[in-house]
Amino acid sequence: MDIPRIFNITESAHRIHNPFTPEKLATLGAALRLETGTRVLDLGSGSGEMLCTWARDYRVIGTGIDMSQLYTEQAKLRAEELGVADQVKFIHGDATGYISDDKAGVAACLGATWIAGGVIGTIELLAQSLRPGGILLIGEPYWRQLPPTEDVARGCLANSISDFVMLPELLASFGHLGYDVIEMVLADQNGWDRYEAAKWLTMRRWLEANPDDEIAKDVRAKLTSEPKRYAAYTREYLGWGVFALMPR
């Protein structure tokens, strides 16, 4: 069981697989006023940077589940590196339908809401692992500017304009689901650059090391086209943020 190989190649050197910088991740942890011993559940935990750094900085405990074997291994190594392996656990697996027996003070899904069919399904899933008074975290894109055409939306790698909404509508939608938005931290273009541009060096080095790989042609094409595509579309039109929610 694993995610498509292309992601394990392009994001193999990422610690954070979204447009957050380490500073934004720390800002989010501080904004949530995390208390020592808070249990954090992270669905689609990637390489574990959120759980590991929050375990170090705020003494939280927690579990992450991710379908990438590579990222999960990296998460375990990171936990050891930061001296928090006794506080955090990383499981390689499918987070679809995952409900924790030990209810969490924070239940998160950052940049992987397709796990439960979108934002609504993910909120419903996470809520089942939350203890009373706990906080849900949803990391999700929104339109910074509404794409003028469907072609522009596709340039952002969305299927259509209707995949995402503008920030005010996204915030209002949480209210319609019966949740208060109690905090948010938004990525910026610098963070998008760190997420996207970091893939380019990784691709370049991977191509040099794997010229005859069956997927090398695809990676080559991606490296050639991505800088321009990213600058023209994603960087201009797409925002990303983490929204902290509590049921009303």
Instruction: Give the total of residues touching ligand SAH (CB under 6 A).
Output: 20
Least distance to ligand SAH, CB of residue 85, Å: 19
Q: Establish if 45 lies at the interface with ligand SAH (CB under 6 A).
A: yes
Contacting ligand SAH (CB under 6 A), which of 9, 17, 122, 206? 17
> By beta-carbon distance, which residue lies closest to ligand SAH?
46
Distance between CA atoms of 234 and 43, rounded to whole angstroms?
24
Residue 168, token pair as written in the block: 């005010």
Which contacts qualify for 56-62: CB closer than 8 Å, 24 or more apart?
Answer: 56/82, 56/83, 56/84, 57/26, 57/29, 58/29, 58/34, 59/87, 60/34, 60/36, 60/87, 60/106, 61/37, 61/87, 61/88, 62/87, 62/88, 62/89, 62/104, 62/106
Helices 69-81 and 49-58, packing angle to 10 deg: 20
Instruction: Tell me the window of 13-21, 148-156, 200-208, 224-232 that interacts with ligand SAH (CB under 6 A).
Output: 13-21
Contacting ligand SAH (CB under 6 A), which of 19, 29, 46, 105? 46
Q: Establish if 95 lies at the interface with ligand SAH (CB under 6 A).
A: yes
Contacting ligand SAH (CB under 6 A), which of 29, 105, 111, 141? 111
User: In the complex, which residues of this chain contact ligand SAH (CB under 6 A)?
Assistant: 3, 16-18, 44-46, 49, 65-68, 71, 94-96, 110-112, 115
